[in-house]
Each structure stands twice: as structure tokens, then as C-alpha cells.
Chains A and B, each alone.
Chain A
Amino acid sequence: MTGALLVIIQIAGRRCALGALEVKSVIEIGTITPVPRAPHWISGITALRSQTLTVIDCRRALGLSSEDWPTDHRAVAVADGGHAYALLVDSIEDITTAAGEVGQVPGGFGAEWSRIATGMIETLAGPALLLDLGALLAGPETLSREIETLV
């Protein structure tokens, strides 16, 4: 993992990292069309050129409230399973290089964070939580199901 490029973002006041290869671009968020009856962590859909992006509110996807932190006007565009997503985060900090391997911390990161984090990673900008994109996009509802299948 050492030397890998990471995009450092702030989610709910915490520093997180996404592999730069997973990030397609950083976009200005335009109008978000809400999607009635979609899970609450999906803010809606937005258009990027002729592509539709599903807008994910990362705070809500973690099971946290989104009111406590201001949102950046920019979002991180990612793709997973052939679908494009825009991640709403507090802010996008930097692109930096991983300075070590992914590690764990004693005591874990807490239930919500452990579900979406691969582990801790040291970067040139300090330690950050390396995110598991698939788990993040799955949303908080899938939490219980994942545990059931593991048992």
C-alpha cells in the first residue's frame, strides 16, 4: 500500500482516505433531483454531462446525522459495479501518498466506521481511515444483513 495515491476527504469531521484509482473525478455539485422513497442516505441524482450520478450522503450512509457538518460544494465522483456515484462529504482536503500499510487500531473504530473502513493508513498528511467503497455505498441498512451472513 506504501506509495499508493490517496484522496483525503473529511466525513462527519473525521479524516478518511479513498484510493485515488477509485476516484474518477472531483465535481462541482449542481442541482440534485431528490428520489422519493429511496433510502435516506441517497440524496438524489445529479447529472454530469450526459451521465447520471447517484448522490450519496456519506454521513447518512454511515448512519450519522448530516446536519452537524457543513457540506462541500464539491463531491467525489466514483464508480462501483458499473454505476456512477457522487459522494457528498464535508470537504475534500488533498491528494497524498500512503506512507505505510493498512493497519488496525486497538479497540476498533466504532461500529459504524468499522463497517465501511478497511483500516487505518498513515499518510504524509497524517493518519486517515481507509474507506471500503462497496461497504460505504451499501448504506447502513445492510449492516445487520452482513453480520448475519458472516455467522
Chain B
Amino acid sequence: MDDLLADFIAETREMLEASSGELVAWEADPADRARLDAIFRFVHTVKGNCGFFDFPRLAALSHAAEDALSDCRAGRRDADGPLVTAVLAIIDRIAAMVDAIEAGEDFPEGGDEALIAGLDAANDSAAPETSRPDSSAPLHAPADTLLAATDDAAAPTRRADAAAAQRTIRLPVELLDRVMSGVSDMVLARNDLAHRLRQAGNQPTIDGPFERLTTILSDVRDAITRMRMQRIETLFGALPRLIRDLSAELGKQVMVDLDGGDVELDREMIETIRDPLTHILRNAIDHGIEAPAARLANGKREIGLIAIAARQSGNTISIVIADDGRGLDEERIAAKAIATGLVSAAERAQMSRDRVLNLIFEPGFSTAETVSNVSGRGVGLDVVRQNLERVGGSIKVTSVPGEGTTFSLQIPLTLSIIAGLTVETGGQRFAIPQSYVEEIVQASSSALDLSWLGESALVTFRGVRVPCLMLGEVLGLPGSETEARDPTLVMLRLASGDLFALAVEGIHNHGDLVVKPLAPAVMRSGLYAGSTLLDDGTPVLLLDVANIAAQAGLVSDTRARVLAAASDDSAAAEATPRAMLFTDFTGRRAAVRLELVQRIETAPVSAIDRTHATARVVIDGMILPLTGLPDGPLSGRRVRLLRLGDGTCDLLYAVREVEDAVELTAPLQPVPEDPLVEAVTLIDGAPVTLLDAHALFARYGEAPIAAKRTRCILPEGEWARTILAPLVASAGYEVLPESEGDTATIGPDAIRPDVIRIVFEDVYEVAEALGRELPGTVIRLRDQPDAPAGCATVYRYDREGLLAALAAASRGARAVSNASTGEAA
């Protein structure tokens, strides 16, 4: 078959798929002008294309349909039911002929005249029954009965607008792949070059063009990635028709609700999930949705609903197909599984309902008693699962008897480029998708408190206890001293909202990762989502964060349910005040209302300044008042502090030990003799002093010294936004994005020199080389932990170093600012 013919077939089929949703919609409402136009365009194109080939029958059919439709468009004729039926029959015939042409078969003679006559018969308003085309035209017979029972509100499809026409050409996928991998190679080469340029030092003549190359390359890569992406709408477009035809054939009434058509997916991935999706829909209509009479008898709506929704979360796409049919029959599935020897009766007794239901994905399993031509044709859900697993996806089913069945498909976005973080453990590097990363913290730094409870580790992060996984342990790598003693914690936030910490030995780098799928045998471990290449070409594994968390039992379904239940109760429990329980330096058990507690800090004793009546301590570059200290000298090197805030003022309360957040359920006994105590109450049967926050703030509260917040411009990019910005903001600086920074330097703010600018070293060097000096105080970040002594840069994950640099810059900036205002005055 020559290319031209292949193109013709592909184009016809593509248009047919794109317009099949329109066909169903048009059938429901023949007066709909937009749909009419779409269908007219289709037959018109087919007719035009036929001119290149010798397909007289195809040409005659499309010509006849075009004539009839053009009459409608010109208003010479009404698009009534019989006409719609006749046009649809012709379009079906065209599709069948195209299939035959592609397969190189001869299409059976005859029948065309009847179809064409059907158009005229419809015009003569002859009885539709006689004008209906012969039975070889597929599946239109029950259309009228379907429509008769369907009112407007329950039209067979709710898809709203017609797909806009796009200029497209067809390209072989291999070519795309070659371009794609060429660009990936180019990115790697660029990164390597960047590395060498940095090593060689400043070279103004090279750095400028190199920056340009970088910009161009990222544009090209962006475009290439888009080239492979397609809206899932192209797949969804064909579904209303499929569902309509199947339900008509099986004498059922089904409407479909499509959602998330704008989710983008790799084109190849769309092709891969086409069959699985079709299969699940066939099953849903054949086995799931009951006949209309049965539905009415069960108190359901006569028309069944299949809802299909696509969602993107991180680097996976989830597609959920839910029907409101009779649900899966646990007992029948179990019986069948026992009969085929899939499980033993003893095993069955141990199995939960969900596990039984998921047996339907096992090879050789089919509950269809009769093999209809719709489902049960030997190709089972096991093949569906295989196809999905082949591309690193997964499928799950849940079902409630009598209420419906839900299939959830998880599909990776292959070949996608994601932002990622490279971490090291056990001497090996791994990548983590940036989208999960909430924050990176050194366990030794202030906000954390790593403690072991049996085999589980917990860290206290911003006053919340968070489960902590040791990456080396998860991966079964040889134990590492650093990881256990002084780990770097990557706080990861899952799509479900659960937070957990991953302890690693160190952080290496962040950057764009070209994610490639892994072989199925490796994927089965459930730990990896793919692989990617580092700048030097070494492959590293991308961790499957969600799955690792699930395997560690951090987000089991039960937990999710418990959480859901708790949040339901929270509305009722809202009235109960909560407090943070602690032991203070006099050994007294005391509490302070939880809403005042901003954070739990740890400060070195040396940082406490007790020369004034009120002690002060520097936290995150801000000087805060401190109370609650014992009179004598402090033992130990560090002190735990509760950071209390009332919105305008912050103050720190030194405590010996923080216990837990508790609910104040017992009555509060006022203590009028001590002005700093609000009340005494009972917690777990023991008396606890509740501090009077109002009095505390009245006595010690003061706005933080650094209240005139220094403004700080951050570099562009995901890393700066998600990791750097929270750190800088929590240190008390006002964060300006790079773009606003530009206006700040040229706008009215340009005269303000008290802006701190954080830039990456390479950007700084380029600016320097181009002679464009950056205004304000500049903090330069480097990517590598090691640097020669006296180097003016700060390692990007050196939290303490960065804060120190910020504090120093802030002092400098304020001095400049004061001087300039002084001059102005």
C-alpha cells in the first residue's frame, strides 16, 4: 500500500473518530447547526480525497451524503430523524469500506444504492421503517427507540462544544522519537559543556553565546515535548459513539459523562490505552449496566450513567471509569476463581472483598456465561492489565453491590520531562520528582526532632509529627552512618495530602529530568517510576514516591478512611479548645493555646542575649523577645522554644520539654493571683497551668526587630519557588519573584538599594561578563557542596550558610538604605 493511500485511510479514520461524538450529538438534536457543519466537512473531505483514488463507490456514497447535507445547510431541507439515520448509515458504510481498503480486501458488492436511496426516501418523508438501510448497515436500528426514551436533559452525551479544527500533518513516530532523543542528547551535551565552562572560569566571549544556546535549547525541547503530547479529548471523542452503539445493540440505555478532556498525554500512550479503555467500557455496558426494566425495578434511573474522568497528578495520569450498574458479584467471582484453580477455598476465606474483586485481572478469568460478540471473546481484563503494566501503569477496581463499579487506571506520562531532585544514599544517586518535594531540612537544624519508636522513625516538623523513612533502608542498601546520624530530610507531600520525610545522605542537584520507562521486571519492585540520565550520562533511578509511601503503609486506604472520619468529626469538635502541653524550666507542667503556637524552635544557648531585662534571641535572622528562662545559667547547649505569635508580635517561650498537643476538655479554673496564668485545668487527671497569652504579649510582646522586612529577589524556576522561597520567607524576608525584581530595578523602586538578590553563580558570571551589574546586594548560590576557601558563593542547600548570608546582606542593605534616606533628608 503506498503512503498516499495510507494517509487517506488514516485521515478518514481520524476524522471519523473526531466527529463520532458530533454524530451522536447530531442524532439527538438534528437541528444543531454546528454538528451538521462538522459532519458535512467530514463527508466533503472524504469525497474530495476519493478524487485521488479509484474508489467509485466511496465517492458515490460521500457525494450523496454531501448533497443531502448541503441541502440542509442551505435550508432547502430539514435535518429530521430519518435523514440523520440515513446519513449515519452512509458514514458507517464509509468506515467499513475504509477498513476493507486498509486490509486489502474486497468490500461485498451491493447495498450502496439502498443507502443512497435512503437519503431520498427520507426526503420524501416515507415511512422510516421501509427507508431504513439493509441490515448490513450496523447498529442504527434501535436508535429511534433510544431517542424516544431520551429526553433533552439526558441526551446521550453531555460533551459540550465541537472540537476546533486544527492544522495538522501526519508524521511517523520513529522520526519524532529520533528528534526527541536527539534533543535529549543535546541537553546532556549542553549540561556537560556548562559544567566544563564553570570549571574553566569566566570566559565572556563564550558565556554570552552559551546562554543564548541554552535559551534556544529549552524552547526547542519544550516544543518537542508538546509535539508528542495530545489532549486526551481525541480519545474521548470516539467514546460517545461507541457507548451509544453498544448500548443500542444490547438493548440498554446509557449516557456518558466525560470530564478532563484537556489533560495532555503522550500520543503513543493514548494509543496504548485506547484498547484497555474500550474493553472496560464494553464490560461496563455488557455486564455492569442493567436492562432498563431491571434498573427501574431497583429504583434507579432508567438510563445508566458511565462517567469517565481524566486527571493529572504529578507524573501520572489517572483515568477513572465509573458506572452505576449492578456492581461486581464477589461470590460469583470467588466461585469462578476457585473453580479454575486460581485460588483455593482456604485462600478465599482469607481474602478481602477488594482482593477477590481484583481477581478479574488474573489470566484466564471471565465470568461471562455466554460469549456475546461484545465481551468475553477471550481477550480478558488480564490483557488489559498486561498492556497497562507494560507501559508502567496499573489498574484497580472497586465496586459496591447494586451501586456500581469503578475502574481506576494509573498511567505514567512517559518521555516526559519533569523537574527533579537528585539525592544520594549508600553511595548511589536517585532522583525524586520535584512536584512531591515540600522542603529540604537538615535533621540537625532547628525545626526537627528525629526520634525512633520501635522500628519507625518520626520527625517533628513545624510542630507536627511526621513519619520518616530511611531511603537506604527502603532500598535495602548497606546502612550508612550519615543517614542515621545526621540525615538530610526531604519532606514529601503526596497527592493525598499526607506528608512524610525521606532521610537521605545528601542532596546533589536539581534540574530537568528526561524520564524514560523502565523494564517491567524492574517496575515490579514498585520502587521506581522510571530512569533518567545525569548530566554526565550516568543513568539514575527515579523513585516512585507515592508507591514507596504506600508500601511503607503511610497512605493505606484504611488510614485515608480514618483521616476522612476524623475530619468529619472535626466540625463537631471545633468548639473544644486545644493547647500545646509542655514542661517549663521550673518543672511545672503548663500549656499554651495551640492557635498561638507558630512553631517549635531550637536555639543554641550561645545565641541568647540576656544582657537586658528581657532576654532576646536571634531566630532566622530576626531578634525576638524570650521569656520562660530560669534565673540561673542554662545547662546544656541548646534550648527548646515555643514561638508564639498573635499576628503582629512574636515572642519565644523557653521550655524544658515539649509534650504534645492536647484538647482542653476539663473545666478551666481561673487563677487570679498570678497575672501570667489564665487558668488551671486537668489533663489526663494531672493539673496543668494554662498560660495567659494576653498577659504574656502585653508584658513581653514586641514586633520583631527586623519588622521592616528586607526584600529579596529570588532566581526564577521551580526550585527557587518551592524550596528557596519558603526558607527565605520564613526567615522574615519579603520575597519578590524575578520578574518583579526587574520592574523593581527599573521602576520607581530602582532607587531603593536595600534589595537583596539571590542568583545562581552561573547567572551571576554571565551578568558580570556582559557588564550588566546586578543592583542591590547579591548572594550567589553554587550547585556543588565543596568550594575553595574564601569563595564568595553559598551552597544552595546550606541552610545555615544561606541564612547567615541573608542576615549579613540585610544588615548591609539596611545601612545603605538608612544612609540614602539620611542624605535625602
User: Interface on A for B, CB 8 Å cutoff?
Assistant: 31, 33-39, 42, 45-47, 49-52, 54, 81-83, 85, 137-139, 149
- A37 in contact with B527 given A46-B539, A50-B184 (CB within 8 Å): yes
Residues of B within 8 A of A49 (CB): 181, 185
**B521 and A37 contact, CB distance less than 8 A:** no
Instruction: Give the CA-CA distance A51 to B527 in the complex, in Å.
Output: 20
B342 — nearest CB in chain A belongs to which residue?
A: A148
- Cβ contact of B428, chosen from A33, A37, A52, A85, cutoff 8 A: A33
Complex alpha-carbon distance, A82 and B389, angstroms: 12
Chain B residues within 8 Å of A39, by CB: 521, 524
Answer whether residue B720 sits at the interface, using C-beta atoms and an 8 A cutoff.
Answer: no
Closest to B519 in A: A54
B514 and A50: CB pair below 8 A? yes
The residue of chain B having its C-beta at the shortest distance from the C-beta of A39 within the complex is B521
Q: Mark B498-541, 1 if CB is under 8 A from A, else 0.
A: 00000000000000001011111110110110011100011111
- Output the nearest chain B residue to A61 by Cβ-Cβ distance: B521
| A151: nearest chain-B partner, CB-CB | B341
Instruction: Specify which of B426, B514, B520 lies most central, judged by the most chain A CB atoms within 10 Å of its CB.
Output: B520
Contacts of B516 in A (CB 8 A): 51-52
The distance from the CB of A50 to the nearest CB of chain B, in whole angstroms, is: 4
What mask results when residues 165 to 202 of chain B are scored 1 for a CB within 8 Å of chain A, else 0?
00000000000000001001100100000000000000
By secondary structure, the B interface counts as: mixed
Q: Is the CB of A33 within 8 A of B540?
A: yes
A37 in contact with B476 (CB, 8 Å): yes
In the complex, are the beta carbons of A47 and B518 less than 8 A apart? no
Q: Does B538 contact A47, Cβ atoms closer than 8 Å?
A: yes
Q: How far is the CB of A110 from chain B (nearest CB, A)?
A: 23
- Pair B522/A81 contact, Cβ less than 8 Å: no
Given contacts A33-B428, A33-B538, A37-B476, contact A52 B531 (CB under 8 A): yes
A78 and B537 CA atoms in complex are apart in Å by: 20
A35 to B538, CA, bound (A): 13
Question: Cβ of B514 and Cβ of A81 under 8 Å apart?
Answer: no
The interface on chain B, measured as residues whose beta carbon lies within 8 A of the other chain's beta carbons, has a size of 33
| B363 within 8 Å of A (CB atoms) | yes
10 cross-chain pairs, A with B, having the tightest CB-CB distances, nearest first: A36-B475, A54-B519, A50-B184, A52-B531, A83-B519, A47-B539, A50-B185, A45-B539, A37-B525, A50-B181
Q: Is the CB of B538 within 8 A of A38?
A: no
Q: Which residues of A contact B537 (CB under 8 A)?
A: 47
Verify if B390 is at the interface (C-beta below 8 Å from A). yes
Q: Does B206 contact A (CB under 8 A)?
A: no
Measured in the bound complex, the distance between the Cα atoms of B531 and A73 in whole Å is 23
Given contacts A42-B522, A52-B518, contact A35 B541 (CB under 8 A): yes
- Please determine whether A38 and B525 come into contact, CB atoms closer than 8 angstroms: yes
B residues within 8 A CB of A31?
538
Interface, chain B (partner A; CB < 8 A): 181, 184-185, 188, 363-364, 390-391, 426, 428, 475-477, 514, 516-522, 524-525, 527-528, 531-533, 537-541
Closest to A53 in B: B539
Most-contacted residue by chain B among A82, A83, A138 (CB, 10 A): A83
Look across to chain B and name the residue whose beta carbon is closest to the beta carbon of A31. Answer: B538
A45 to B532, CA, bound (A): 10
Give Cα A46–Cα B540 distance, bound, in whole angstroms.
9
In the bound complex, CA of A52 to CA of B518 (Å): 8
Residues from chain A with Cβ under 8 Å of B185 in the complex? 49-50
CB atoms of A137 and B521 under 8 A apart: yes
A146 to B363: give the CA distance in the assembly, Å.
12
* Given known A-B contacts A45-B541, A50-B184, A54-B522, A34 and B428 have beta carbons under 8 A apart: yes
Would you call B531 and A45 a contact (CB within 8 A)? Answer: yes
* Given A50-B185, A52-B516, A52-B533: A33 and B521 interface contact (C-beta under 8 Å): no
Quick one: closest A residue to B526, CB to CB? A37
- Contact status B528-A35, CB under 8 Å: yes
Q: Return chain B residues, CB-CB under 8 Å to A50.
A: 181, 184-185, 188, 514, 533
* Shortest Cβ gap from A24 to chain B (Å): 14
| 7 residue pairs bridging A and B, Cβ less than 8 Å apart | A36-B476, A45-B541, A50-B533, A52-B516, A54-B519, A54-B521, A137-B521
**B533:A33 contact, CB within 8 angstroms:** no
Which residues of B have CB within 8 Å of A38?
521-522, 525
CA distance A37 to B364 in the complex (A): 30
* A145 shortest CB reach to chain B, Å: 10
**Separation of A137 and B524 alpha carbons in the complex (Å):** 14
User: Given the complex of chains A and B, what is the CA–CA distance between A65 and B185 in angstroms?
Assistant: 37
What's the minimum C-beta distance from B290 to chain A, rounded to whole angstroms?
34
A36: chain B residues at CB < 8 Å are 426, 428, 475-477, 527
Q: Which residues of B contact A35 (CB under 8 A)?
A: 522, 525, 528, 541
CA distance A47 to B184 in the complex (A): 13
Inter-chain CA distance A138–B520, complex, in Å, is 9
